[in-house]
Amino acid sequence: MDSQVKYLLSLRAIRERAKIVGEAAKSGNLSHFDLHEDRLDDVADFVTSVIKRDFGPDKFDTIPPHGRWQHFEVGNVPRIADLIQKWKEAGCDDVELTRRLIDLFFVSVLLDAGAGDHWRYVEPGTDRTYERSEGIAVASLYMFNSLAFTSSKSGNIPNVDGKGLEQLTTDTLAGGFQVSGSNPMLGVESRAALLRSLGKSLLAHSDIFGAEGRPGNLVDHMLKTTGDSSKLDILIFWDVLQNLLIPIWPKDRTTVNGFPIGDAWPLSTLKKQAKSAQSDDSADYIQPFHKLTQWLTYSLMVPFQRVLGKQWVNAESLTALPEYRNGGLFVDLGVLSLKKESLDRGLKASGQALPLFEAGDDVIVEWRAMTLVLIDILYEKVLSRMDDGVHLTMAQLLEAGTWKSGREIAAKHRPETKSSPILIKSDGTVF
């Protein structure tokens, strides 16, 4: 693999490139935003207050890592716990149980880009209505249980396989998600196409996922890498996921030397900084994020920990997730503000009170890079505000702190839609 491509696909590159953007921000050299560092302490106070409100004074150790698991249990309904109990009663051992959870989490996370402000999901047999990430989680769980993602429709054991995903129609996905003219969801076609591409890639990587292309076979592969150890390596896990997922992303994404690099985008701020270092290589001003792959990694880690008792090393290599809840927190609380020219362009595009940009727009790429920079800074500030002896991982900060705080402040500022302060024209495969 080309060395530049290999670097841009790595976790290391995400944080290293974002740091360059952070340096530009401190010098007042961002292209689209102004940074108001003096307001970061207000954000740290707010996020810390949310964490202490929900888990203080002595339950901080119960904060779950940021991941898909808890989205399935929205409304305090123990859907995953019930499913595990049912499988155990049927004689399922822990390894197969973990395979099934990996199957479910895999498709659910890759479907979990922003659904839009108007989509809702009514849980079958109830009057419970959910939206956004939790709605997608519950909808995907019902589809999983109805064997929508497997080619084997006989029996009642849910799983996921490559042929089942390859055969998934857009109409089937839309039906499973209750999409209609009065209940629109962003990017239904592109979500279905993503899963079909995933099916093809799973089948092409039979050395790991088996002839059937089952995501859950990743469990067996990772267990082989540990030998007698109880520790799994995030960096090995990451490489497996990147090799599988890079071929599935939309074909109009950024390429380097003809090779696709997924959720990674040219950024004018990096280009300006690179020019000062006399670099003419376009690969030097690409900012990688790999957000859905990181969200998948965070989510898949949890079954290995909870069910198999495994520990992960190199987890600190993962970054914050550069998406609209984490990023919106800094806009809503005044740490970042759009420069007039960019704001006016976004307002013209939306025709509304909030600016709108394409997911690959330079404004959005800069916003996402600054989100990574600011959460790394915020992480240290929040830790310093916690009581002695309390330590949070980045995954816990994302779960109980920034993501939740971003959602709460959005609901306060925009109760009608709860939307991000900056709107993104989503195709369902980035955020």
Q: What is the DSSP letter of 233?
A: E
Is the confidence at residue 289, as pLDDT, over 90?
Answer: yes
Is the confidence at residue 250, as pLDDT, over 90?
Answer: no
pLDDT of residue 153: 80
Name, in order, each residue with C-beta under 8 angstroms of 382's C-beta and a sequence gap of 6 or more.
Answer: 44, 47, 48, 51, 392, 397, 401
Which residue's entry shows tokens 């998406």? 323
Q: Chain-wide mean pLDDT for the chain?
A: 94
Contact 190, 177 (CB under 8 A): no
Which residue's entry shows tokens 């109980």? 400
Is the confidence at residue 405, as pLDDT, over 90?
Answer: yes
Q: Which of 10, 98, 1, 65 is nearest to 288 (CA)?
A: 10
Please state, in angstroms and rounded to a whole number, the distance separating the CA atoms of residues 43 and 256.
37
Is the confidence at residue 140, as pLDDT, over 60?
Answer: yes
pLDDT of residue 229: 84
Using DSSP, state whether 56 is helix, strand or coil. coil
Binning pLDDT at 50, 70 and 90, where does residue 155 land? confident
Contact 290, 14 (CB under 8 A): yes
| Burial grade of 1 (CB within 10 A; 0-12, 13-18, 19 or more) | exposed
pLDDT of residue 262: 94
Please state, in angstroms and rounded to a whole number, the distance separating the CA atoms of residues 143 and 155.
15
Least confident residue range of 115-119, 260-264, 354-358: 115-119
For range 292-305, the mean pLDDT: 96
Bridge pairing between strands 311-313 and 231-233? parallel
Using DSSP, state whether 319 is helix, strand or coil. coil
Is the confidence at residue 430, as pLDDT, over 80?
Answer: no
Which residue's entry shows tokens 């779960």? 399
For range 338-359, the mean pLDDT: 97
With both helix axes pointing from N to C terminus, report the angle between 268-276 and 362-385 in degrees, rounded to the nearest 10. Answer: 80
For range 356-371, the mean pLDDT: 97
Please state, in angstroms and rounded to a whole number, the distance separating the CA atoms of residues 242 and 252.
18
Task: Using a pLDDT cut of 90, give the percent of the chain over it.
Answer: 89
Is the confidence at residue 212, as pLDDT, over 80?
Answer: yes
| pLDDT, tens digit, 9 for 90 and up, residues 216-227 | 999 999 999 987
Binning pLDDT at 50, 70 and 90, where does residue 278 land? low
Least confident residue range of 257-266, 274-283, 334-343: 274-283
Q: Which amino acid is at 153?
A: K
For range 3-11, the mean pLDDT: 96
Contact 70, 64 (CB under 8 A): yes
pLDDT of residue 281: 74
pLDDT of residue 431: 64
| pLDDT, tens digit, 9 for 90 and up, residues 28-51 | 999 999 999 999 999 999 999 999
The half-sphere exposure of 24 on its side-chain side, counting CA atoms within 13 A, is: 26
Is the confidence at residue 83, as pLDDT, over 60?
Answer: yes
Is this model's pTM higher than 0.85 or not? Answer: yes
pLDDT of residue 275: 63
| pLDDT, tens digit, 9 for 90 and up, residues 316-331 | 999 999 999 999 999 9
Contact 423, 359 (CB under 8 A): no
Q: Which of 264, 269, 263 is nearest to 363 (CA)?
A: 269
For range 160-175, the mean pLDDT: 98
Please state, in angstroms and rounded to a whole number, the distance separating the CA atoms of residues 88 and 97.
8
Q: What is the DSSP letter of 301?
A: H
For range 371-398, the mean pLDDT: 96
Binning pLDDT at 50, 70 and 90, where does residue 214 land? very high
Could you give the dihedral angle defined by the CA atoms of residues 351, 356, 360 and 365, in that order, rounded to the nearest 10 degrees?
140
